[in-house]
Amino acid sequence: MINKLVIIFVFFTSFAYAEDFKCQHYTSAQANSWSCSHLGRETHKARLPDGKISDKTAFDQETIKRIEALLSQAELLYEEGHYAQAEQNYRQIIKKYASYTPSWIKFAQFYSAMDRDYDALQTLQYGLLKIPDNADIYHETGLVQVRLRLVPEAVISLAKAAVKAPENVHYSYVYAIALNSTRRPYKAIDVLQRAHQRQPDNIELLVALFSISEDLNKHNKALLFAKKIQEIDPDNDSIQHYMIELKETE
């Protein structure tokens, strides 16, 4: 639901200085302790992109279980502080199972957790050489590029992820937020609307459409999205507060 919405990020124009970067919040009233997911570092816990990983189908279930067990071992080594051994394990996995998408993503996330985003980016770029045009790797690449302040490159990577995996509307959502943050709100709305047509009840998309419409003073459209959110999540405090304020100004 909306109170679980993850903070994405603000992009400025391609010539922005690093110190100009700030966080943009699409949050609810209940969310009062957000951290910037694109800037912060958390304890390494490998996570996969939302939606279906595209290249698992190339492996049988037994092989997938074997790879996942190896990835879990590498993750455990990291958690126990054996960083060099964890890195070596990840290298062995991608060498042996180069066409398994999650291996590249988890290896890159390991580097990011170690505050080695340039290594993470290089890892993902190697991954794209092995698995060309992979939406999941493009998406993770875009997130790393955001942290590295490579804004134009990040937008391109996120766009490729959204285009190559239209069924994964979260990728469209992140791309749209990037567009909006680089001062292209109408393009962002277009991307969100197309994703919304595929998943009309997706709260993440509706909240973004509502927020951007409000920012553009498109109050009639914002109200339509607010009503839709209220239908799906009637207990949402933020939308309830918005509706109350709206009635008070009438």
**% helix / strand / coil in the chain, to the nearest 5?**
65, 0, 35
CB atoms within 10 A of CB 240: 15
The pLDDT, as a whole number, for residue 18 is: 31
| Cβ–Cβ < 8 Å for 179, 187 | yes
Helix H or strand E encompassing 107 = helix 101-113
pLDDT tens-digit map of 1-57: 333 333 343 333 333 333 333 334 343 332 222 223 333 444 566 666 654 555 555
Helix H or strand E encompassing 242 = helix 237-249
Task: Give the separation between CA 35 and CA 23, rounded to whole angstroms.
Answer: 9
Q: What is the mean pLDDT of residues 182-193?
A: 97
- Which residue from 185, 46, 20, 181 is spatially nearest to 120, judged by alpha carbons? 46
Average pLDDT, the chain: 83
Q: CA angle 48-149-140, nearest 5°?
A: 15
Domain boundaries, the chain: 41-162
The pLDDT, as a whole number, for residue 26 is: 40
Question: Helix 135-147 vs helix 169-181: angle between axes, to the nearest 10 degrees?
Answer: 30
pLDDT tens-digit map of 193-247: 999 999 999 999 999 999 999 999 999 999 999 999 999 999 888 898 999 888 8
Q: What is the mean pLDDT of residues 52-64?
A: 74
Task: Give the separation between CA 232 and CA 152, rounded to whole angstroms.
Answer: 35
Letter string b/e over residues 115-138, b meaning 16 or more CB atoms within 10 A of that residue's CB:
eebebbbebbebbbebbeebbbbb
CB atoms within 10 A of CB 190: 13
Helix H or strand E encompassing 146 = helix 135-147
- Which residue from 155, 162, 210, 148 is spatially nearest to 184, judged by alpha carbons? 155
* Superfamily the domain 41-162 falls into: Tetratricopeptide repeat domain (1.25.40.10)
Letter string b/e over residues 72-84, b meaning 16 or more CB atoms within 10 A of that residue's CB:
eebbebbeeeeee
Question: Helix 117-130 vs helix 83-96: angle between axes, to the nearest 10 degrees?
Answer: 10
